[in-house]
Amino acid sequence: MRELTYSEAIREALVEEMRRDANVFLMGEDVGTFGGVWGVSHGMLDEFGPERVRDTPISEIAIVGAGLGAAMMGMRPVVEIMFGDFLMCAGDQIVNQVAKARFMSGGKADVPLTIRVTSGAPGSAAAQHSQSPESWFMNIPGIKIVAPALPADAKGLLKTAIRGEDPVLFFEHKMLYAEKGPVPDDADFTVPFGVASVVREGVDVTVVGVGNMVLKALKAAAQLAEQGIRVEVIDPRTLVPLDKETLIRSVQKTSRVVIAHEAHLRSGPAAEIAAVLAEEAIEYLDGPIVRVGAKNVPLPYSPILEQFVLPDVSDIVAAVASFWKR
């Protein structure tokens, strides 16, 4: 299969869906002329014109709110919030309008709105440009939360988001944009929500990775294999809905689990995953549920401090190794 970067895979999904359905359009700050600050929509203005690749003012409330209104009137907007850190500028629209519109209407409103947003620390971007906000809206019923790690999943999940009837927060990790992987070129290739992916099989310990931590988990697994520890790596791919079954099945087999994400530890996505396992799979567990994530301090600018705060391969290795050091 041909290889694409994560960024190219996302662009391909956008382009294919916009060719397929005239109701799909892209809107956000600098998505047009600039091609997106991360270059994801590069060239799309040329193909689709300024009507369907819309540069907006710096107005996150208006971007999300207008996306919602347009979605309810038959369009399928993909709106982009440049950094996940800015999501809270539109927090009310997301929490109180987008997520609840269908339910409050008695199930009648369709809200096919995809909110693309970046997450993660790109390096010395400091406290307001480095956050991983995947869990910030997990408590809110009504919005789905997607965090792909591999290019093929990025493409397939974005298509599912755009074709679906519900609002989706779609997290793209900045440090994954340049990562390559095989991506099917079938224009109807989609990846379903709520189905975790077993990225590597193993029997000794389960490592659940979110976003870029899937790649780090794979590296950790390779290192640990040398010590004879067979790690199973699972990527939930969608946090809402969450594929509990695959997680529980894995833990049943390995009886040990580490959950890793780049978000801060406290109340990050791992809190929910750990709680689910502690509620539904505790009998299979042979030790603590170990979380790996960023320390509970804002992301510092200094690379030394930043590396100290962010989780890395070695943290996963250490977390896994801890099971055999008790």
Ligand X SMILES: Cc1ncc(C[n+]2csc(CCOP(=O)(O)OP(=O)(O)O)c2C)c(N)n1
Catalytic choice (60, 80, 262, 306): 60
Asked if residue 79 binds ligand X (CB under 6 A), the reply is: no
d(CA 312, CA 260): 9
Asked if residue 89 binds ligand X (CB under 6 A), the reply is: yes
Cα angle 320, 325, 326 (rounded to 5 degrees) comes to 110
29 is catalytic: no
Identified binder of a second copy from the candidate list 282, 307, 314, 324, rule CB under 8 A:
282
Strand order in the sheet with 238-240: 53-55, 24-28, 76-81, 114-119, 168-173, 144-146, 238-240
Question: What, of another protein, a second copy, ligand X, none, does residue 314 touch, CB below 5 to 8 Å by kind?
Answer: none
Asked if residue 110 binds a second copy (CB under 8 A), the reply is: no
DSSP string, 44-106: HHHHHHHHHEEE--S-HHHHHHHHHHHHHTT-EEEEEESSGGGGGGGHHIIIIIITTHHHHTT
Catalytic choice (8, 16, 29, 129): 129
Identified binder of another protein from the candidate list 70, 147, 221, 320, rule CB under 8 A:
70
Asked if residue 127 binds ligand X (CB under 6 A), the reply is: no
- Which is nearer to another protein, 171 or 323 (by Cβ)? 171
Determine if the peptide bond prior to 269 is cis (ω within 30°): no
16 is catalytic: no
d(CA 228, CA 246): 24
d(CA 280, CA 217): 24
Asked if residue 63 binds ligand X (CB under 6 A), the reply is: no
Identified binder of a second copy from the candidate list 113, 154, 274, 313, rule CB under 8 A:
274
Minimum separation from the CB atom of position 37 to ligand X (A): 7
Asked if residue 66 binds another protein (CB under 8 A), the reply is: yes
List CB contacts of 174: < 8 A, sequence separation 6 or more. 38, 118, 119, 120, 121, 122
Q: Distance of CA 171 to CAs 92, 118, 212, 314, Å?
A: 19, 5, 11, 24
Asked if residue 150 binds another protein (CB under 8 A), the reply is: no
- Which is nearer to a second copy, 45 or 316 (by Cβ)? 316
Minimum separation from the CB atom of position 60 to ligand X (A): 6
Minimum separation from the CB atom of position 18 to ligand X (A): 23
Asked if residue 240 binds another protein (CB under 8 A), the reply is: yes
d(CA 59, CA 29): 8
Beta strand pairing call for 205-209 and 24-28: unpaired
The β-bridge partners of 54 are 27
Instruction: Name the segment binding ligand X (CB under 6 A); options: 6-14, 81-89, 109-117, 317-325.
Output: 81-89
The torsion region of residue 300 among left (phi > 0), alpha (psi -120 to 50) and beta comes to beta
Give residues in contact with ligand X (CB under 6 A): 29, 58, 60, 82, 86, 89
Q: Which residues are catalytic?
A: 60, 129
Give residues in contact with a second copy (CB under 8 A): 85-89, 91-92, 94-96, 99-100, 103-104, 126-128, 133, 135-136, 138-142, 240, 263-264, 266-272, 274-275, 277-280, 282-283, 285, 287-291, 296-298, 300
